[in-house]
Amino acid sequence: GSADLRKTLFQVMDALIKTMPQDDPVYMFLDKKRAQGKPYYVYMTAGANKFLRIYYGRVNEYLSTLPESN
């Protein structure tokens, strides 16, 4: 994949780890993986994948609410 995208996603994951928002599903997932003893790149990549899936779902949900243009 794109090195720039990977770097950006890792920065987002790093910000989540530093701010520790207890109600965020991606942070809860990251914290669970860290508690399981997963290596750094494993839990960061898994968290990035979860973030992208949630983001994609929300964008699709938003786009489905827009009126169709001709």
The residues, ordered by sequence, that sit 6+ positions from 21 with a Cβ below 8 Å of its Cβ are 27
User: Does residue 20 belong to any structural domain of this protein?
Assistant: yes
- Which domain covers residue 39, as residue numbers? 3-64
Q: Give the pLDDT of residue 26.
A: 96
User: Does residue 38 belong to any structural domain of this protein?
Assistant: yes
Q: Give the pLDDT of residue 1.
A: 80
User: Does residue 69 belong to any structural domain of this protein?
Assistant: no
Give the pLDDT of the chain (70 residues) as one tens digit per residue: 899 999 999 999 999 999 999 999 999 999 999 999 999 999 999 999 999 999 999 999 999 999 987 6
The pTM score is 0.85
User: Does residue 27 belong to any structural domain of this protein?
Assistant: yes
Cβ 64 vs Cβ 54: under 8 Å: no
- Alpha carbons 21 and 70: distance in angstroms, whole number: 42
Q: What is the count of structural domains for the chain? A: 1
User: Does residue 43 belong to any structural domain of this protein?
Assistant: yes
Residue 64: CA count within 13 A, CB half-sphere = 6
User: Does residue 70 belong to any structural domain of this protein?
Assistant: no
